[in-house]
Amino acid sequence: MSENFNFKIEKKLPGKLGRAGKITTPNGEINTPSFVVVGTKATVKAMTPEMLKSLGAQVVLANTYHLYLQPGNELVKKAGGFAKFMGWQGPTMTDSGGFQVFSLGAAFGEHVSKVAKAGDENRKKVEDGGTGNKNKLAKIDEDGVTFRSHINGDQHRFTPESSMQVQWDLGADMIFAFDECTSPQATHEYQKEAMDRTHRWAMRSLVAHEKLDPENIQALFGVVQGGRHEDLRKESAKALAEMKTENGSMFDGFGIGGSFDKDDMGTAVAWVNESLPEEKPRHLLGIGDPIDVFLGVENGCDLFDCVAPTRVARNGSLYTKNGPIHITNAAYRADFSPIEEGCQCYTCQNYTKAYLAHLFHAKEILANTLASVHNVYFIVNLVHKIREAILEDKFFEFKEEFIKGYSIK
């Protein structure tokens, strides 16, 4: 593990894989479990870094693909890294660009999510993982991925080595090995093929990172793949846990990526974490649904990231302990209570549902900010409460109470 990076377990969940801990980075500590706020283009949409701090956010993740295209990783490097560029003072992460391989390739135009939902099993199995999609903007080969910019159509290429270079330039504390995220509809055969390729890319990422960062300033996480298959997930976790360069470099932590079954999230995560080294942190990539977070924590995950809190906020969907509400519904036009009674966020302390409803109906920009403030506060502090519950031996009671009251309307 990097000398600049450390993970310490403070308390374990009895009979489960979950734990509370602390990650130390060059730019601060992260009390885990923790929700990582996504600032895709070195900005959390409609919010300032000061707002994020006030809401309890500990760490921000930026997107390698998007910053590579705009404004360019070399410019961000000149600015001192994306954290300094955006004015964020605290720990940071960048993803590898691997998810964009999925969203521009297998998933492009197919309305396929990385998380399979009920009924998805009726979809036709994709023999090549979606790589045959004629409308795709990304094409995968053994060396990497060729893709066209969603901005202007220009052609670009990512390899494990170039992903490491871009992430080095972006300057995050924690980065991810380049991987291939597959469709939940991909066959077992293709999932196996993609997983093996991800492992080869992982080794290349390790070697490239070792050359770029001989002083171990950045922590590198390997990404476990394998789709919805127990044999592949366990194989991937074991392979990455044991992976080592000729000079002895190993992964500092692990991301759990790829496709899941919504109804079996906890089980799939447990398959992986049972096979990963306990002393290293685990990040569940792209997962932010409150129920999924509980399952992830219980089964051994320490970090979570997702664009959902701010994305759904901009569409008027607001989190509450009783499930999300849609503020544009007629029932809220004259409701002068806060989004959630007892919520300590700036929005709930100062504004009513009626005012939020007015802003959304009037298409005022402030609607996005106030809604995002509430949703980010809700998810960040929910995960903080989960951590406190673990430390106080109350996790299972807290989980049961939350799930009992929470419903999707």
Tokens of 199: 């492992």
111, 124 contact by CB (below 8 A): no
CA nearest neighbour of 113 among 228, 270, 282, 199: 228
| DSSP structure string for 136-190 | -SEEE-SS-EEEE-TTT--EEEE-HHHHHHHHHHHT-SEEE-------TTB-HHH
CB atoms within 10 A of CB 50: 11
- The Cα–Cα gap between 204 and 208 comes to 6
79, 161 contact by CB (below 8 A): no
Q: HSE-up of 130 (CA within 13 Å, CB side)?
A: 28
Of the residues 196, 231, 305, 393, which is catalytic?
305
* Residue that has been written with the tokens 């705009």 in this structure: 70
DSSP letter, residue 59: -
Burial 316-344 (b: 16+ CB within 10 A, else e): bbbbbeeebbebeeeebeebeebbbeebe
Domain spans of the chain, in order of start: 6-96+160-306, 314-405
Q: Tell me the backbone φ, ψ of residue 327, rounded to 5 degrees.
A: -65, -15
CATH number of 6-96+160-306: 3.20.20.105
- The Cα–Cα gap between 16 and 277 comes to 15
Residue 243, Cβ density class (10 Å: 0-12 exposed, 13-18 middle, ≥19 buried): middle
Q: Tell me the backbone φ, ψ of residue 291, rounded to 5 degrees.
A: -65, -40
DSSP letter, residue 27: T
Q: Tell me the backbone φ, ψ of residue 146, rounded to 5 degrees.
A: -105, 130
Question: For 56, left (φ over 0), alpha (ψ -120 to 50), or beta?
Answer: left
Question: For 129, left (φ over 0), alpha (ψ -120 to 50), or beta?
Answer: left
Tokens of 55: 């809401």
Question: For 393, left (φ over 0), alpha (ψ -120 to 50), or beta?
Answer: left
pLDDT per residue, tens digit, the chain (409 aa), is: 567 899 999 999 999 999 999 999 999 999 999 999 999 999 999 999 999 999 999 999 999 999 999 999 999 999 999 999 999 999 999 999 877 655 665 544 444 454 555 554 544 555 555 544 455 678 899 999 998 888 898 999 999 999 999 999 999 999 999 999 888 888 999 999 999 999 999 999 999 999 999 999 999 999 999 988 999 999 999 999 999 999 999 999 999 987 777 777 888 899 999 999 999 999 999 999 999 999 999 999 999 999 999 999 999 999 999 999 999 999 999 999 999 999 999 999 999 999 999 999 999 999 999 999 999 999 999 999 999 999 999 999 999 999 999 976 5
| pLDDT computed for residue 108 by the predictor | 44
216, 249 contact by CB (below 8 A): no
Give the β-pairing of 282-284 and 260-261.
unpaired
How far is CA 333 from each of CA 116, 187, 325, rounded to the nearest angstrom?
Answer: 35, 48, 13
95 is catalytic: yes
154 is catalytic: no
- Residue 60's beta-bridge partner residues? 37, 92
186, 194 contact by CB (below 8 A): yes
CA nearest neighbour of 33 among 292, 239, 275: 292
- The Cα–Cα gap between 93 and 39 comes to 10
- The Cα–Cα gap between 371 and 123 comes to 35
Q: Both ends of the chain: CA-CA distance in Å?
A: 44
Q: CB within 8 A of 230, min separation 6: which ones?
A: 268, 271
